[in-house]
Amino acid sequence: MIPVLLGVVLFIFVVLHLAPGDPAREMLGVMAAPEDIENLRNELGLNDPLLLQFVRYIGHVLTGDFGMSYSSRAPVLDALLSRYPATLTLAGMSTLIMVLIGLPIGIISATRQYSLLDRLPTAVALMGVSMPTFWIGMLLVLIFGLHLRWLPASGFSTPIHWILPAFAIGFNAAAICMRMTRSTVLEVIRQDFIRTARSKGQSERRILVHHALKNALIPILTVVGIQLGRNLGGSIVTETVFSIPGLGYYMLQSILARDYPVVQGGVIFIAATFSLVNLGVDLLYAFVDPRIRSQYQAMSKKKTERGVAA
Amino acid sequence: MNWVTSPVSTRSPGSAPKKRRKMREVWSRIRRDRAAIGGLVTLVLLGLLAIFADQVAPYGYDDQNIPVALTAPGVLLQYPLGTDSLGRDMLSRLIYGARVSFVAGLSATGIATLLGMLLGGIAGFYGGKLDNAIMRCMDILLAVPGILLAIAVAAALGPGLRNAVIAVGTAGLPIFARVIRGSILSVREMEYLEAARAINASDLRLMLKHVFPNVLAPVIVQYTLEVAHAIMEIAALSFLGLGAQPPIPEWGAMISSGRGYLRDYGYMMTMPGLAIMLTVFSVNILGDGLRDALDPRLKH
């Protein structure tokens, strides 16, 4: 995880420094004297070799110093921390909506394959994955915010404000989750052990919950994990639609203003969250699947044995 | 092992007559899939609109007629889908938009496929340290949500449609590399490869004549589904102002320009969105149908 994060930072660092435009010029304006720009570049360390800048940056980040924003001259870390909760809430809420809608519908349509209860949700889900989230968001604003006036169309201050943006991301994600759940459950209920359970005369309910879902859980968990990360990414665009003061909106403005430190910090935040979620999913695997759990146990046993031997 | 008399042919399953038969089989399976055919027909029609936009569209995409600006759809016969804030015909802009989205989506996915085949192919074929190095790089790209990666690259290259295409292609690359590496690993130990190697075929020949034809199915499916994805991501970049710049009639950019007129002229935003939805929906059902036809075991 740590090497991957380092790689992400290096990648973003190089990409942003290849970008056209000079942050020093951006800060001082077009009228600035060349000497002033040169001085500022020296002050910001922009004239040093890229590798040196990178190492210095990593060193600072490790001590919790994400640098100063070029445009506001305030510490980047504070600005990111104040905006992070909104983005996390949005991604979390939309993932919740995704699981609450996508999972049950996926299971139902798999168990009732080719019935109306299967065909209708499948068609709706296919439409759902075909709609860009920012467009869904604007449609929701148009219908529920402007015409019906039921819900606020922008901002993120109270839970009522969360509903529309969370649904904008959640709908698309629910469609993906539903499709995945459906195909996984279908795959599992065709297995031999399900037939065995049926022939034993077990109730359909017990078969579904104890035999089918237990085995379908791993791929579903994977999708939920991946999707939580994608919802983080989706919130960048959605925050713009709803003018939510979150990480994504802030990063986008900083990208347009060439405020490198903010963009780098934001990418680190999101990539770290993404990696933590993936780590959490990996740990959950062990929790739901005894086969994987025993692998972990065997590994740690080996480690302790080696430790004893040494 | 009695390999001298074993009937291993150096001809891989990808050779000509067999391949043709397989394609016919796949086609006959797709033909029975009504949804997939519907998607294909819609796409062909949209593609024709895109190609012949100059002939089909009643106006140019930047022909302004300020006096009739912001006419709602259905009000004026000359402007069946209404006009935007600059008095440009919505219908014509949507038709030209199909051209932009098709070209951009296909080329972004093309970039991702070519680079992905190269990197994933090398990683899967040679294995070892090279494999490790390439796939770790792909892991790094995968550790950032795709749209964020595309935004970062697009920002670095500067706004513009061409750069947005490169950005979306880069963001799609790691998934392709993974899919291709995975399928190559599954054919790498096959006997026909061993046989071809035994008659001293070069690595390049092995790759082009024996490996790639046999991993084509997942690549085609992935390509189709990725085109849908790319069209939406390019629209998102344009929506954020990082993609197509005015007056290019890109659908995402049109949605973005409709944002300011949301309350009273909602059609400026809904119609380009519907166009995206129709296109992506068609690509998706075609992709689903292709997947079922190419690998019937996966069919649900």
pLDDT at residue number B281 = 95
Can you read off the two tokens belonging to residue A91? 């991604």
Q: Which of A3, A131, A271 sits opposite B277 (nearest CB)?
A: A131
Alpha-carbon Rg for chain B, nearest whole angstrom, is: 23
In sequence order, what DSSP letters do the residues of A20-79 get, joined into one string?
SS-HHHHHH-TT--HHHHHHHHHHHTTTS-HHHHHHHHHHHHHTT---B-TTT-SBHHHH
Q: How far is A308 from chain B (nearest CA, A)?
A: 31
Q: Which residues make beta-bridge pairs with A68? A: A75
Q: Answer for the pair B138, B178: CB distance below 8 angstroms, yes or no.
A: yes
Nearest CA of chain A to the CA of B10: how many Å? 35
Q: Answer whether residue B234 shows pLDDT above 50.
A: yes
Token pair 């469609």 is found at A175
The neighbour count for residue A196, using CB atoms within 10 Å, is: 12
Rounded to the nearest integer, the mean pLDDT of chain B is 86
- The ipTM assigned to this model is 0.85
Tens digits of residue pLDDT in A96-152: 999 999 999 999 998 888 888 888 998 899 999 999 999 999 999 999 988 888 888
Which residue in A264, A260, A251 sits closest to A23, CA to CA?
A260
List, in sequence order, every residue forming a beta bridge with B222; answer none if it has no partner: none
Work out the minimum CA distance from A257 to partner chain B, whole angstroms: 10
Tell me the whole-structure pTM to 2 decimals.
Answer: 0.86
Q: For chain A, positions 51-110, list CB contacts with chain B under 8 A.
A: none
Separation in Å, CA B98 to CA B76, B168, B243, B274: 23, 18, 15, 12
Tokens of A245: 């003061």
Q: What's residue B3's pLDDT?
A: 43
Q: Is the pLDDT of residue B71 over 90?
A: no
Q: Say which range, A9-23, B249-263, B265-279, has the weakest mean pLDDT.
A: A9-23
Nearest to B159 by CA among B237, B235, B251, B242: B242
What is the per-residue pLDDT for B17?
62
Buried b (16+ CB within 10 A) or exposed e, B83-92: bbeebbbbbb
pLDDT one-digit tens code per residue, B122-145: 998 888 899 999 999 998 888 888
User: What are the helix (H) ranges across B57-160?
Assistant: 90-126, 128-142, 146-157
Six-digit token string for B51: 């190609």
Q: Per residue in B283-300, pLDDT tens?
A: 999 998 888 888 766 555
The answer to whether A129 touches A203, Cβ cutoff 8 Å, is: no
Q: What is the spatial distance between Cα B266 and Cα B256, in angstroms, rounded to a whole number?
A: 12
Are the Cβ atoms of B136 and A232 closer than 8 angstroms?
no
Amino acid at B97: G
CA distances to A7, A46, B137, B171 from A67, in Å: 19, 13, 26, 27
Q: Residues, chain A, total?
A: 310
In chain A, which residues have pLDDT < 50?
310
To the nearest 10 degrees (0 to 180), the angle between helices B34-51 and B267-294 is 130
Q: Does A3 touch chain B (CB under 8 A)?
A: yes
Cβ-proximal residues to A134 (8 Å cutoff; 6+ apart), any chain:
A168, A237, A238, A240, A241, B236, B239, B252, B255
Our CA-based measurement puts residue B197 at a distance from the nearest CA of chain A, in whole angstroms, of: 36
For residue B210, count CB atoms less than 10 angstroms from its CB and return exposed for 0-12, middle for 13-18, buried for 19 or more: buried
What is residue B79's three-state secondary structure?
strand
B115/A220 Cα distance (integer angstroms):
30
pLDDT at B102 over 90: yes
pLDDT band at B246 (very low <50, low <70, confident <90, very high): confident
Backbone angles phi, psi at A130, to 5 degrees: -95, 0
pLDDT 10s digits, B167-201: 999 999 998 899 889 888 888 888 888 888 889 88
Q: Is the CB of A33 inside 8 Å of chain B's CB atoms?
A: no
Residue A68 sits at φ, ψ, to 5 deg, of: -105, 140
**Spatial CB neighbours of A118, under 8 Å, sequence gap ≥ 6:** A108, A109, A110, A112, A182
Dump pLDDT digits (tens) for B24-42.
888 888 888 888 899 999 9
The tokens of A123 are what? 């068609």
Backbone angles phi, psi at B248, to 5 degrees: -60, 130
Q: Which residues pair with B83 in a beta bridge?
A: B89
As a whole number of Å, the CA-based R_g of chain A is 25
Q: Which of A 167-226 lie inside 8 A of B, CB atoms?
A: 182-183, 186-187
HEC per residue, B207-218: HHHHHHHHHHHH
pLDDT top residue among B211 and B227: B227
Q: What is the DSSP letter of B72?
A: P
CA B233 to chain centre: 11
